[in-house]
Amino acid sequence: MINQNTYECPECCSMFARWGHSGLAFCQLVGQAVILNMRALMMFPQMFRKQSRPEVAYQLFFTGIRSLPVLSVVALFNGMIFAIQTGIELQKYGQEVNVGGAVTVVMLREMGPFMTALIIAASVGASIGAQLGTMTVSEEISALEIMSIDPVRFLVMPRLVGLMVMMPLLTIYSNILSIAGGAIIAITQLGVELQAYLDNVVIYAGNKDLYTGLFKATVFGFIINMVACHQGLTTKGGAVGVGKATRSTVVVSFLVILVTGFIITKIFYG
Amino acid sequence: MINFKNVVKEFSGKPVLRGMNLNVAKGETISLVGTSGAGKSVTLKHMVRLLEATSGEILIDGENILDKDGPELARMREKFGYLFQGAALLQWMSVFENVALPLRENTKLSDKEIEEKVVSVLEKVDLLAAAEKLPANISGGMQKRAGLARAVVTEPLILLYDEPTSGLDPVTSRTIDQLIHDLQRDLGVTSVVVTHDMISALTISDRIAMLHQGRVSEVSTPKDFLKSENEVVRNFLDSQCISSKFFEEFPERTLS
C-alpha cells in the first residue's frame, strides 16, 4: 500500500552529498504521508457505507468522548494558570477586570487548539501509531490487502474522520473550560465580579479568533492522523519498531503542529 | 496456474531470490521447503504481490501479476486465500467477525447468507464453539484454524499457507495437516505450502520443491524426494531425522 522502495542513501564520501540524499529521503517520507492522508480524505463520502459506519462511529467516540477526562483537567487548570499569571500583572495597573478578555483571546486564537492538539497527539495519535504499527508487524495489514480490503478506506479514513470532526469540537469544549477556569481565579483570587468577567469575555471574543482557532484545530487533526497512520503503516522490526513508531508519532506530531500553528497565525494575523 | 519465470528479488542490494523458476499446476499441492533465509516466504509473498520483484515474471493463470495495479490487482488477489504464519486475525474482532470480514467487504450477500457461509466454514475447521471469542482468547492452533477458515470462506482458487504448523505441538500440527488435506480434497484448490516441517510436507503434498540460496534446487513427488541424491535435500532430510523409508516406517502418516 505504501511504496516499499524507499529512497536509500548510497554510501557517499561527501558530507554535502549525504545531506542531499537525506533531504531526498525526507521529501519521499513527507510525500508518502501526505498522499496517504489525501487518499483518506478523498474517501470521506464512503464513511456512510454500511461497512464503514461502525468503525467511523467508534473512532468518533474514541477520539471525542474518551479524551474528555484528561482534556477537562488540562483545560480547566490551563485557564486557571493563565488567569493567575496575567491577573497578577494586570492588578499592578488596576486592570484585573480585563483578565477575562485576556484568557478568551489567548484561548480562542492559540492555546485552545494548540493544547487540545498536543493532548490528542499524545493520546489518540500515539494509540493509532501503536495499533497500526502492531497490525503491520503482525501482517494484519497484508491480510487486509490480500482480502482486497483497502487499508486506507478500512483504517485510515475512519481515524481521519474521527480526528477532523472531533478536534474542533474538543477545542470549543476546552476553550469553554479554560474560560471557566479563568473565571474561578478571577472571582476567588482577583476580586472580579462574575458578571464583569463574563461581559469582558463577550467584548473580547471575536468571530475571527474563533474561526481561526477552529480552522487550526481541523488542520491539527489532519496532521495528527497523517503522522500517526504513516508511522504505523511503515513500522518495521517487531515490538521495538512499534515502540519507535509510537514515539515518532508523538514527537513528529508536536513539531509539525507547532510549525503549522505558527504559519496559520502568521497568515491570519501577521 | 502459477509460473515463476526467472524472478529476482533483492533487499538493499542483497539477492534473496536469484532467478527463481517454478511451475505450480492447477489443483496440485506443492510444498516449498528449505532452510531459513532460502526465500520460501518471500516467494509466497510475491505470488500475491505483497512484495515487488526486482525482475522476472509471475504469471497467475497466464496474467503477469507484476503488471497489475489498483482494481486489476484486487481482482487477481480475489483468486487467493492466504494463511499467515501468525494467522493475522484482526484482534478487535471475534473469530466469527474475522471470517465474515471478506464477505462483508467484497460481496453483496445478505447478513443471513454471510452467517450461513461462516457457520459452515467454522464447522469444517471445528471452531464453531469459539465463534464469539476474540483471537487473543484462543490457542495458537485455534487461531491458525480461524485464519484458515477466513482464507477459504471466499472460495478461492489458490490457497497459500505460510508455515501452517510452526509454533504448534506435534498433535495439533498433524490436525492442521489433515485439515489442509481435507480442504484440498473437498474444494479442489491449488495449494502452495511454505514449511520447515518435513512430516507435514511429505504427508500433504503432491510435489515438494527444495529452495536453496534463492533458487529451486529440486522439485519432485514426496516419494522421489525421499530418495533424492541431491546433497541439499539429503542434508535437510537428515537434519530432521527423516529416512528414505519414511512411508514404510510410518504408513499411518499417509492422509486419506
Please report residues of A whose CB lies closer than 8 A to that of B44.
Answer: none
pLDDT, tens digit (0-9, with 9 covering 90-100), for A78-119:
999 999 999 999 999 989 999 999 999 999 999 999 999 999
pLDDT, tens digit (0-9, with 9 covering 90-100), for A233-242:
999 988 999 9
The answer to whether residue B182 is domain-embedded is no
What is the C-alpha separation between A41 and A29, in angstroms, rounded? Answer: 18
- What are the residue ranges of helices labelled H in chain B? 40-47, 70-77, 95-106, 111-124, 140-152, 170-187, 198-204, 222-226, 231-239, 246-249
The answer to whether residue B6 is domain-embedded is no
- Quick check: helix, strand or coil at residue B80? strand
The answer on pLDDT for B201 being more than 70 is yes
Question: Smallest CA–CA separation between B50 and chain A, in Å?
Answer: 7
Nearest to A117 by CA among A268, A257, A228, A263: A257
Contacts of B165 (CB under 8 A, 6+ apart): B172, B173, B176, B177, B195, B197, B200
The answer to whether residue B101 is domain-embedded is yes
Determine how many CB atoms are found less than 10 A away from the CB of residue B231: 10
Q: Looking at residues B58-78, what average pLDDT do you find? A: 89
Cell of residue B2, nine digits:
502459477
Please report residues of A whose CB lies closer than 8 A to that of B106.
Answer: 147-149
pLDDT, tens digit (0-9, with 9 covering 90-100), for A21-78:
888 888 888 899 999 999 999 999 999 998 899 999 999 999 999 999 999 999 999 9
Question: Smallest CA–CA separation between B124 and chain A, in Å?
Answer: 20
- The pLDDT confidence band at residue B252, using thresholds 50, 70 and 90, is low
State the distance between the two ends of chain B, measured CA to CA, in whole angstroms: 25
| CB spacing of A138 vs B86 below 8 angstroms | yes
Question: Smallest CA–CA separation between A65 and chain B, in Å?
Answer: 19
Q: Domain of B139?
A: 88-155
| CB spacing of B50 vs A149 below 8 angstroms | no
What is the C-alpha separation between B227 and B249, in angstroms, rounded? Answer: 14
Which residues of B make CB contacts under 8 Å with A?
12, 45, 48, 50-52, 74-75, 77-78, 80, 82, 84-86, 88-91, 101-102, 104-106, 150, 154
If 0-12 CB within 10 Å is exposed, 13-18 middle and 19+ buried, where does residue A231 land?
A: buried
pLDDT, tens digit (0-9, with 9 covering 90-100), for A141-155:
999 999 999 999 999
Contacts of A182 (CB under 8 A, 6+ apart): A79, A80, A82, A83, A99, A100, A103, A104, A197
Cα A193 to chain centroid distance, Å, stands at: 35
Q: Which residue of B has its CA nearest to A153?
A: B105
Question: Smallest CA–CA separation between A150 and chain B, in Å?
Answer: 9
The answer on pLDDT for B255 being more than 70 is no
What is the C-alpha separation between B186 and B168, in angstroms, rounded? Answer: 24
Q: Which residue of B has its CA nearest to A148?
A: B74
What is the C-alpha separation between B188 and B183, in angstroms, rounded? Answer: 8
Report the residue of B12, B97, B101, B154 to disrupt the A interface, i.e. the one with the largest count of A CBs within 10 Å. Answer: B101
Cα distances from A64 to residues A39, A227, B52, in angstroms, run 23, 19, 39
Q: Which residue of B has its CA nearest to A142?
A: B50
Please report residues of B whose CB lies closer than 8 A to that of A145.
Answer: 50, 77
| Cβ-based contacts under 8 A for chains A and B | 52
- Report the b/e string of B203-227 with b at 16+ CB within 10 A: bbbebbbbbbebebbbbbebeebbe
**Predicted local confidence at residue A258, as pLDDT:** 95
Q: Looking at residues B152-177, what average pLDDT do you find? A: 87
Cell of residue A205, nine digits:
471574543
Only one residue has cell 524472478, namely B7
Contacts of B63 (CB under 8 A, 6+ apart): B76
The answer to whether residue B126 is domain-embedded is yes
pLDDT, tens digit (0-9, with 9 covering 90-100), for A216-262:
999 999 999 999 999 999 999 889 999 999 999 999 999 999 999 99
Contact B225, B202 (CB under 8 A): yes
The answer to whether residue B252 is domain-embedded is no
Write A195-198 long-range contacts (CB < 8 A, 24+). A196/A97, A196/A100, A197/A97, A197/A99, A197/A100, A198/A100
In this complex, the residue of A138, A142, A148 whose CB is nearest that of residue B106 is: A148
The answer to whether residue B55 is domain-embedded is no
- Quick check: helix, strand or coil at residue B194? strand
The answer to whether residue B103 is domain-embedded is yes
The answer on pLDDT for A173 being more than 70 is yes
Q: The whole model's pTM is what? A: 0.88
Q: Looking at residues B191-199, what average pLDDT do you find? A: 90
Cα distances from A180 to residues A83, A85, A213, B17, B92, in angstroms, run 10, 16, 18, 65, 39
Give the total number of structural domains in chain B.
1
Q: Return left, alpha or beta for B26; rule: phi > 0 is left, psi -120 to 50 is alpha, else beta.
A: beta
- The pLDDT confidence band at residue B175, using thresholds 50, 70 and 90, is confident
**Predicted local confidence at residue B251, as pLDDT:** 62
What is the C-alpha separation between B153 and B228, in angstroms, rounded? Answer: 38
Contact B236, B202 (CB under 8 A): no
**Predicted local confidence at residue A8, as pLDDT:** 67
The answer to whether residue B214 is domain-embedded is no
Cell of residue A160, nine digits:
481521519
- Quick check: helix, strand or coil at residue B195? coil
Nearest to A152 by CA among A141, A139, A163, A143: A141
Determine contact: A15 vs chain B, CB below 8 A.
no
ipTM for the predicted complex: 0.87
Report the residue of B105, B114, B192 to disrupt the A interface, i.e. the one with the largest count of A CBs within 10 Å. Answer: B105
Q: Looking at residues B109-133, what average pLDDT do you find? A: 92
